Amino acid sequence: MVSSLSFKVSLTTLALGLSTFVSNAIAQTTFSQFNCTEFFVPVDISAQTVKLNLGNPHNQSELSGLVTRMTYLNSTIVDEVTVGPSMVNATFNIWSELCVPGGFKEDGIIEFTIHGSTENHTYFNFGKESPFNYAEAALKAGHAIFTYDGLGAGKSDKPDGIQDVQIGTETAVAIALVEKLPSLLSFGKVIGVGHAHGSVIMIGMLAERGDLFNATVLTSIAPVLFGVTEGLAAMDVKIAAEVVPERYHGLESSYAVSGGLTNDQITFYHFPFFDPEVFLEMQSGRELITLGVLLTLPQNGQALNYTNPLLVVTGDRDYFMCGGNCNVTDGDFPSRPAAVAGLFPAVNDFTVHIPENTGHFVNYHFSAPQTFTFIQQWIGGRV
Ligand SMILES: *[C@@H]1O[C@H](CO)[C@@H](O)[C@H](O)[C@H]1NC(C)=O
Ligand SMILES: *[C@@H]1O[C@H](CO)[C@@H](O)[C@H](O)[C@H]1NC(C)=O
Ligand SMILES: *[C@@H]1O[C@H](CO)[C@@H](O)[C@H](O)[C@H]1NC(C)=O
Ligand SMILES: *[C@@H]1O[C@H](CO)[C@@H](O)[C@H](O)[C@H]1NC(C)=O
Ligand SMILES: *[C@@H]1O[C@H](CO)[C@@H](O)[C@H](O)[C@H]1NC(C)=O
Ligand SMILES: *[C@@H]1O[C@H](CO)[C@@H](O)[C@H](O)[C@H]1NC(C)=O
Ligand SMILES: *[C@@H]1O[C@H](CO)[C@@H](O)[C@H](O)[C@H]1NC(C)=O
Ligand SMILES: *[C@@H]1O[C@H](CO)[C@@H](O)[C@H](O)[C@H]1NC(C)=O
């Protein structure tokens, strides 16, 4: 982390506008049609969290024991370790990337993305000129796009993985970043785009503040995580510092990674509808999940004050969200993803898209290019 400090872009600098912040940025990549800039954003937050009566696991056996208890029928582990409400007041450095297409106008559209657990910003910006690169699809549609490494992931800060990296902190960080967007770029409309746990964070943001986005796209989501128990067991999480020491040496044992290739496949992919090379590359960049996040997975609340258009995109074979079968009725709703409408009672313009032969990592299945086109066209038609 020390080496990153010299790259920090101060807020004052960011507030001066895009041209200044570009020259201060840590890296700049210029393609023929768009520019991407990478930088750290320091965010000050005061977040509502939960005090957990739990220490870092001493070894893998203790971590596996804890996670197994989370997967018990009618598990009570969350109640057992929850002491009560708490707060995290802190400044965290969040690694971010802003990509802007050539000729972007002041009334243009920017997409604000949030990746899921065991991922980083790469989920939305995979490879160069890849059919699986969501950011490139957004840029081709003329939209700017903001991606970041969430708290406790990628190059962003990794504070206490039990007390600090929880859903409440992640939500506060995301709201603070959305509020900073106008100091980074002049734009007209902002669209929220979440994936999986990132969609859960986004529902939390909109429950707190209905006015954040002009339209919202939630991917890989259902109102209840129907497959979370099986998913957690199948993921077989391991202490990150022990199994990926080349990247995570020294990280406390509250930070975990998925067990390996087969664990990733069962939980995130639907065989054989994905590219094996993409699958291997994603696994080699294995990302983190903290015990704090696992123990504060919320019951999604209702976002009563959000009134703008909403699109839900969930693969028909999403394991975490639907236990591998999304296209089944849920109460009065025609499918589990369609039931997300129940969380947004003030939304009139609601669309559901269920790509076929697609698992939890929607962006990495063969259906991705059509899904990206669907999403960009939906955005273009709404705002
Ligand atoms: C793991 O740590 C626990 C203490 O939490 C200890 O009781 C147990 O023997 C250890 N197991 C192994 C396999 O080292
Ligand atoms: C789990 O809880 C449900 C009600 O919430 C109850 O009907 C069921 O019997 C419980 N199952 C077990 C194994 O305790
Ligand atoms: C955090 O900040 C809030 C006000 O924003 C304050 O009431 C609270 O006491 C602070 N908590 C800690 C632990 O500093
Ligand atoms: C990228 O940025 C450079 C300088 O910052 C600018 O000259 C160039 O026109 C930009 N290209 C696009 C496609 O926006
Ligand atoms: C959406 O876009 C317009 C700009 O056309 C803005 O004035 C409006 O307040 C925005 N926000 C929301 C939440 O609708
Ligand atoms: C995390 O980011 C790095 C680049 O910063 C990338 O190489 C790696 O594949 C990413 N991991 C995931 C799971 O997206
Ligand atoms: C929703 O909006 C109403 C009216 O503006 C306001 O009183 C209420 O506090 C808002 N609720 C939330 C959760 O923001
Ligand atoms: C969902 O199921 C219905 C009824 O079985 C079927 O007609 C439809 O094609 C399915 N849709 C998808 C996206 O799988």
Average pLDDT of 308-332?
Answer: 97
Total domain count, the chain:
1
For residue 6, being part of any structural domain is answered with: no
Confidence of residue 24 (pLDDT cuts 50, 70, 90): very low
Residues with C-beta less than 6 Å from any ligand 5 atom: 188-189, 211, 214, 308
Whether 336 maps to a domain, the answer reads yes
Q: Structural domain of residue 72, as residue ranges? A: 11-382
In a domain, residue 5? The reply is no
Q: What percent of the chain has pLDDT over 90?
A: 89
Which residue has a Cα nearest atom 1 of ligand 8? 327
Cα distances from 296 to residues 61, 154, 176, in angstroms, run 22, 21, 20
Flag whether 1 is in a domain.
no
Q: Write out residues with Cβ below 6 Å of ligand 3.
A: 46, 87, 89
Could you tell me if residue 324 is inside a domain? yes
pLDDT for 298: 82
**58 CA from centroid of ligand 1 (Å):** 7
Out of 193-207, 261-275, 290-304, 340-354, which region has the weakest mean confidence (pLDDT)?
A: 290-304
- Asked whether residue 317 is domain-assigned, the answer is yes
* CATH, residue 347: 3.40.50.1820
Residue 128 lies in a domain: yes
pLDDT confidence bin for 1, thresholds 50/70/90: very low
* 73 pocket-lining for ligand 2 (C-beta < 6 Å): yes
Atom of ligand 4 nearest to the CA of 30: 1
State the pLDDT at residue 213. Answer: 98
Distance, CA 83 to ligand 3 centroid (Å)? 18
In a domain, 2, yes or no: no
Q: Which whole number is the average pLDDT over 298-325? A: 95
